[in-house]
Chain A
Amino acid sequence: MATKKLNLKDKYRLLTRDLDWEFSYQDRKEAFPYEEFEGIKITDWSKWEDPFRLTMDSYWKYQAEKEKKLYAILDAFSQNNGQTNISDPRYVNALKIFLTGVSPLEYQAYQGFAQTGREFGGIGARVACQMQSIDELRHVQTQIHAMSHYNKFFDGFQEFSHQHDRIWYLSVPKSFFNDARAAGPFEFMVAIGFSFEYVLTNLLFVPFMSGAAYNGDMATVTFGFSAQSDEARHMTLGLEVIKFLLEQHEDNVPIVQKWIDKWFWRGTRLLTIVAMMMDYMLPNKVMSWKEAWEVYFEEAGGALFKDLARYGIRMPKYAETIEKEKEHISHQAWWTFYTHGHATGFHTWVPSDEELDWLSEKYPDTFDKYYRPRWEMAKEMEAKGERFYTKALPQLCTVCQIPMLFTEMDDPTQTCYRSSDYEENKYHFCSDGCKDIFDDEPEKYVQSWLPVHQIFQGNCGGPDVEDILRDYYRINVGTDNMDMKGSPDELRWKEWKGTA
């Protein structure tokens, strides 16, 4: 007898919805204690729709296939000494930022979705969060595995986990996720599931990964696209959560809008480092940060918000500022890292003349006017044997934790600086967006672990910067940090290529 195959909708219903149960002797409210804590009103979880209708059996089947493909390529990459076929050894520094700054976020996402899934009363959302949680664990594992090969041949990879919790610039991504995970379950979903996954991760995993391919890094493009194949499902979950919340009750609309305003702003701040990686750290260029931003934020995000307008949702606050920032932030960030290059776990450099020309061409309204003269000056100083490193520690924004490197967008010669007084203290911010976030929940952000404050309070060893870098950060001073020129990474590369 031929077995009748269930169609997708029936299979999804049986293998997802029917796994739930009613609470007969326990109070449902006690089982899901955080469901009402943020003021969100859910009237009917059964209205939840999962557009992908993926069931656990299919999930395992397809994920296993993805893993087999990925590991075959990672093996081939290492067996064939793929590290010698990349475009330029400077590129590897982008991977050091990825492993120390991004991969640990995958682990936080794994924990966050496991917890959030537990908090939801609806089975459809719970199963989707469970799958996403397992995906995120897969991402951190495959990323560490892929980059372990680079660790054999390049400096700066060896202490990524220790460094993620300590180094000044790594507190930016770490605190972003800590903020989301310290929120309630629905804010977490709007923060990570919607704002971050739907719009912002695309910028890292699509144009940057395409750039990795273009720079001969087969291992990274493969884990990137393999991860991103899960993201397509995550994005859909994020959008579904938003639509569900907005359809459940009109009182949810202003709460969701506030979270969108907050998390899009936090997300764009976080992506500053990706902007810099795209414009300055990919020797073979695919597209500029500005072009990527126009495709994935303005076009894709614009379409999304036009679609959500029917619920009374508008574009995130400060969208006009965000639009202007695409012309500036990559240059402002790389300059900051270049001048603090003695305190970074990766190498920095002055762009080559061809790269400067490319930036002039891609940023005709800003680069020659504001940024190119700085690089020409840095180049001259370097030629005279006076490669510039700043002696000062940067002031940090209390919310995004990024050094105060951003300018007023209408006057790129003026640093943007805001502050608020709360109880006995003054707090400092890089922007109106970050100040708003603080003013809404000051009791949360006064607890921020700000790396520079911690250094001055004596909590990071010392007393000298070099002691902190070596003992507290575990940076191999003189090996992992400083300029690319003359670094052990560069010398090894020249030996491989016979140009030493």
Chain B
Amino acid sequence: MSKVYIALQDNDVSRYIVEAIEEDNPDVTVIHMPAMIRIENEGFLVVKRETVEEKLGREWDVQELHLNLITLGGNVDEEDDQLSLTWN
């Protein structure tokens, strides 16, 4: 299985998104680099709206992810409630 990954700008919103990703994907590896946070997982990774909203304490649109996103790897599927990354 290959690793999917997502990298976010290191800022106040991303910190909560990372927390949400860690909660929904317990096996992820989080790597801190200058100005960015890279999160990797074997084969699959999901960002769930509900979990991010809970962490942020406010409404959050999945497409807001674009504001803090640096790069990603994997087949993307973006829906109302989540964004997922997968490799076959």
Contacts and interface: CB of A to CB of B under 8 A. Distances in A.
Interface string A37-68: 00000000000000111100010001001100
Interface in A57-106: 58, 62, 65-66, 69
Looking at chain A, what size class is its interface with the partner chain?
A: 35 or more
Interface of B: 2-5, 7, 9, 33-36, 62-64, 66-80, 87-88
A235 B72 contact: yes
A317 B21 CA distance: 37
A303 B64 contact: no
A62 B78 contact: no
Given A286-B34, A307-B75, 11 more contacts: A8-B80, A51-B77, A51-B78, A62-B64, A65-B67, A66-B67, A213-B35, A229-B66, A300-B73, A303-B73, A304-B73
B7 to A, nearest CB: 6
Interface in A219-250: 221, 225, 228-229, 231-233, 235-236, 239
B5 to A, nearest CB: 7
Nearest to B77: A51
B76 A236 contact: yes
A8 B64 CA distance: 13
A8 B61 CA distance: 11
A51 B73 contact: no
A306 B2 contact: yes
Interface string A296-307: 000110111011
B69 to A, nearest CB: 5
B3 A299 contact: yes
Contacts of A231: 71
A283 interface: no
Nearest to A301: B73
A499 interface: no
A303 B78 contact: no
Contact of A229 (B4, B35, B70): B70
Interface stretch (A168-176, A201-209, A260-268, A415-423): A201-209
Interface of A: 7-9, 51-54, 58, 62, 65-66, 69, 202, 205-206, 209-211, 213-214, 221, 225, 228-229, 231-233, 235-236, 239, 286, 299-300, 302-304, 306-307, 310
A214 B33 CA distance: 9
Contacts of A302: 2
A304 B9 CA distance: 23
18 contacts: A52-B76, A53-B78, A62-B66, A205-B71, A211-B34, A225-B9, A229-B9, A229-B66, A229-B69, A229-B70, A232-B66, A232-B71, A232-B72, A303-B3, A303-B4, A303-B73, A307-B88, A310-B88
Contacts of B87: 303, 306-307
A433 to B, nearest CB: 24
